[in-house]
Structure 1
Amino acid sequence: MQEISAQNPYSPPQSDLQSSPSALAVPSVEEALARGYDFSIGEVISEAWKRVKGMKGLLIAATLVYIVAIQTISFAFGLALGLGFGVTESQTPMGQVAQVIASILAGAVCYPLAAGVAMLGIRRAADQKVSFDEMFSHFGLFVPLLVTGLLMTLLMYAGLLLLIIPGLYLSLAYQLAIPLAVERKLSPWQALEASRKAITRHWFKILGLYLTLCLITFLSMLPLGIGLVWTVPLLIISGGVLYRKIFGVLPPAN
């Protein structure tokens, strides 16, 4: 096994590396970006599907907590911005702007919960202990997650407003920024850049992965939405598998 420098802030203790096959050679972010990676769409989805068993209830519950939280907070921000309860208010130009602002603010407040959902998928992909408490364990990183999320949103909106294509590129390229800010404790800009550099290497293939997952999720909604019980966990764990293949996953802190 290649020796990992003790000065590397991302390196786990050697004794912990035996706990999971995925942790046998966890690289630093810089090493992961330098070594590159590859994957097949079918391989990622197949592996994620095998890991859905035993996770459906937990991941569905986590998703519902996130949805309820973001809807409730968005409604509260809407009231604060003067939307009120009237339908006509939200149809005015100012009302539509207020709705967008309320949604952005609600999403920003809920980034720790979004990180929790992502980390559940990553923990499962790395065969690590998965607990519902993960959903609420990242509020200590509220400020860096808030800054990461707001920077991400600002840059994506700027890209969409300018030429559209840069915004679409960044919307996918920043997909791993939030989990990187949590799992590797990167600064907001470091997390955004690490995610962008990693995903750019196989941008179109990753786009194909998420389009395939979106199609599977859409089809699962047709029979009264029952299939979402399987496809929502599949979507979350697939993101975890992709993250593990690119960066590896450090053992959780004790």
Structure 2
Amino acid sequence: MSQEPESVTQAAQPTFSIGHALNEGMRLSNGAKWPIFKALLLSLLVMIPAGLIFQVFPGILQERNPYSNLAMFLGIAGQVAYIFFTNPLTAAFTLIGAERAAGRDVRPRQVFDYYHRAWPLLLLYIVMVVLMFLGFLALIIPGIYLSVAYIFAMPLSADKGLSFWQALETSRKTVTKHWFAMFGFILLLLLMNLAALLAFGVGLIWTIPWSICAVGVAYRQLFGYEADDSEQESLQA
């Protein structure tokens, strides 16, 4: 089994605090709401066309030709292609939060910074989903455990260049030490955003940036994250 790279092991922090992540996330979201929503809008420029091309159109073809091998193949290939194009965006939002937690301004175009890791992220996603599926088959509880334990696997691969197995194991081993706290943290964020959505969606203006920043704080607290000073200086110039 591969060991975690030394840089990751040294950066990992021994404690995780829900209160610290939430409080810091709220503080850091002040002044960052518009850049974060700008990043979300940029990501939609990829997600919406990718969804139409790789999910909606193959789905229509399958409905019209339910017994066609070609339609079935295009449906599966389309789903894989959609994951390929959207995984780097998903990983980026944790790292945008980590960038903010490192004391830097949010850079909306950071959502596109991790496409060079698209293939490793695709492999990681497939293995992660298979392991979680097997976990849910094994009396559900192992699946719940892995769903929480693997939460930082994709940003770890994108940020630190880890292989799929290194990222999965680094996330699992680190989060396991704080599993119940992380489960509570995720549950609180979900409930907070659900409540905001039920309030006609207006509250999402606050809860989405807060959640992204809070997750970034948690990531940096557990694994370490240092923003690129040269990039930040070029933006300020």
TM band (smaller chain): 0.7 to 0.9
1:158 aligns with 2:134: yes
More helix by share: 2
Distance 1:207 1:96 in 2: 37
CA drift of 1:154 comes to 2.1
CA drift of 1:72 comes to 3.3
TM-score, with structure 1 as normaliser:
0.76
Distance 2:175 2:77 in 1: 28
* 1:116 corresponding residue in structure 2: 92
Q: Deviations over 1:186-220 (max 9, x none)?
A: 11110111001011111111010111111111111
1:53 aligns with 2:30: yes
Matches for 1:127-138 after TM superposition, within 5 Å: 127-138=103-114
TM-score, with structure 2 as normaliser:
0.81
Of the candidates 144, 148, 162, which is equivalent to residue 186 of structure 1? 162
* 1:66 corresponding residue in structure 2: 43
**Greater alpha carbon shift after TM alignment, 217-226 vs 187-196:** 217-226
Distance 2:229 2:116 in 1: 14
Distance 1:164 1:98 in 2: 31
Q: Deviations over 1:160-188 (max 9, x none)?
A: 23432222211111111111112211111
Of the candidates 212, 216, 219, which is equivalent to residue 192 of structure 2? 216
Distance 2:200 2:20 in 1: 28
Distance 1:224 1:93 in 2: 42
Distance 1:108 1:62 in 2: 19
**Which SS does the other structure have where 1:124 is aligned?**
helix
1:142–1:207 CA distance, 2 compared to 1 (3 A): same
1:58–1:191 CA distance, 2 compared to 1 (3 A): same
Which amino acid is the alignment partner of residue 118 of structure 1?
T
Of the candidates 31, 44, 51, which is equivalent to residue 10 of structure 2? 31
Give the superposed CA RMSD.
Answer: 2.9
Distance 1:78 1:70 in 2: 11
Q: Deviations over 1:94-131 (max 9, x none)?
A: 99998787555423321111122221111001113431
* 1:20 corresponding residue in structure 2: none
* 2:203 corresponding residue in structure 1: 227
Distance 2:134 2:183 in 1: 21
Whether contact under 8 Å (1:29, 1:247) holds in the other structure is yes
Whether contact under 8 Å (1:118, 1:236) holds in the other structure is yes
Query: 5+ residue gaps in structure 1?
Result: 1-9, 11-26
1:41 aligns with 2:14: no
Distance 1:236 1:99 in 2: 32
Matches for 1:193-204 after TM superposition, within 5 Å: 193-204=169-180
CA drift of 1:232 comes to 0.5
Matches for 1:233-244 after TM superposition, within 5 Å: 233-244=209-220
Percent identical residues: 34
Distance 1:239 1:170 in 2: 18
Whether contact under 8 Å (1:175, 1:195) holds in the other structure is yes
1:79–1:248 CA distance, 2 compared to 1 (3 A): closer
Query: 5+ residue gaps in structure 2?
Result: 231-237
CA drift of 1:48 comes to 0.5
1:105–1:93 CA distance, 2 compared to 1 (3 A): farther
Number of aligned residue pairs:
223
